[in-house]
Structure 1
Amino acid sequence: MRDPIPDIDAFEERAAIVEYDGGLSRSRAEDVAAQAQGFHDADHYWQVLADYVVTRRLK
């Protein structure tokens, strides 16, 4: 199965909203933002984004 396409603008916006409005830590807010895009957690999101920047393609 192919990883979803990371959307950095949506990720940052969602994480900020969840952190501020939801009172979550930044780390937990990033997990929520990543999951909203179909990733397992923020670590998975950042790894896919980094791989895409280096290889210019998704796995």
Structure 2
Amino acid sequence: MSRIPDIDAFEERAAIAEYDGGLSRHEAENLAAQAQGFTDADAYWQWLADYVVKRRVP
């Protein structure tokens, strides 16, 4: 992934999917991550963690 994820969009999409869509938090975060091109929320959070640690786009 070469594009930097939009954290605000991720959080907003996950919240809407959870509260309005009736999904679990895990399902909602997976949906939000997939909307940004990640396979799931775990891949999204790992990308962000790598970015913070390495201080560069993975």
Q: TM-score, normalised by structure 2?
A: 0.91
RMSD of aligned residue pairs (Cα, Å): 0.8
What secondary structure, in the 3-state scheme, does the structure 2 residue paired with 1:31 have? helix
Task: List structure 1 segments (4+ residues) > 4 angstroms apart after TM superposition.
Answer: none
Tell me whether 37-46 or 48-57 shows the greater mean CA deviation.
48-57
Q: Secondary structure at the match of 2:46?
A: helix
Distance 2:17 2:41 in 1: 14
TM-score w.r.t. the length of structure 1 is 0.90
Q: What one-letter code is carried by the residue in structure 2 that aligns with 1:16?
A: A
Higher relative contact order (CA 8 A, sep 6+): 1
- Secondary structure of the 1:22 match is coil
Q: Secondary structure at the match of 1:50?
A: helix
How many residues get paired? 57
